[in-house]
Chains A and B, each alone.
Chain A
Amino acid sequence: AQSVAQPEDQVNVAEGNPLTVKCTYSVSGNPYLFWYVQYPNRGLQFLLKYITGDNLVKGSYGFEAEFNKSQTSFHLKKPSALVSDSALYFCAVRDHSGTYKYIFGTGTRLKVLA
């Protein structure tokens, strides 16, 4: 069965420092991986995805993610955090079992401290 794990409930980082939000996955076959961000009382916004190709994927708002097949990870990164990056971040994987479902992690709350 496909699954996604976000091991950290919350990540705190100082403004201007690099940030990493972790995600590991378990899929059969090639993974299709996604990151989303959610601000309070809003819907999720798509940040970036890995389908195939370069392991380093660049997305919106200066975010990037590194796909690591050997470690089955897809960590979200940003070189310099902003206070406005504070939000809830979700990793997701597209199900491979013939359905059209997406499996989401439990979310990681990012707090960027001024």
Chain B
Amino acid sequence: SQTIHQWPATLVQPVGSPLSLECTVEGTSNPNLYWYRQAAGRGLQLLFYSVGIGQISSEVPQNLSASRPQDRQFILSSKKLLLSDSGFYLCAWTRGQGVSEQYFGPGTRLTVT
């Protein structure tokens, strides 16, 4: 069966510090991968998605970036965090072929102080 992991689960970082969040998927190949941010327990904002290694589509670039160094690994990064980067970050995957539901990871709670 497929599983999706995210780490860390929680993170407290000062303004101006770098960020690296990691997401990995097990039990499937060639998934489409997604990064979302959720503020205040409400709507989801799509940040990046990827349909293959090295292929990144950016929806809200700002000061965040994403990379996909391996088929089942998706990394969200920032060189300098802003207070507004605080939120709940969710990684998700879908099957690469056809139309399927998304499967979400457990999320990372980021607080920028």
- Measured CB to CB, the residues of A under 8 A from B are 32, 34, 36, 40-46, 49, 51, 88, 90, 92, 94, 99-102, 104-107
Q: Are A32 and B99 in contact (CB under 8 A)?
A: yes
Q: Are A100 and B51 in contact (CB under 8 A)?
A: yes
Among A32, A45, A102, residue most surrounded by chain B Cβ atoms (within 10 Å)? A102
- The interface residues of chain B, by DSSP majority, are classed as strand
Q: Contact partner of A43 among B42, B43, B90, B94, CB < 8 A?
A: B90
B64 part of interface (Cβ distance < 8 Å): no
- Measured CB to CB, the residues of B under 8 A from A are 32, 34, 41-44, 46, 49, 51, 57, 59, 88, 90, 92, 94, 99, 101-107, 109
Q: Are A51 and B57 in contact (CB under 8 A)?
A: no
- The 3 tightest CB contacts between A and B, nearest first, are A43-B104, A46-B101, A44-B104
A10 and B30 alpha carbons, distance in the complex (Å): 38
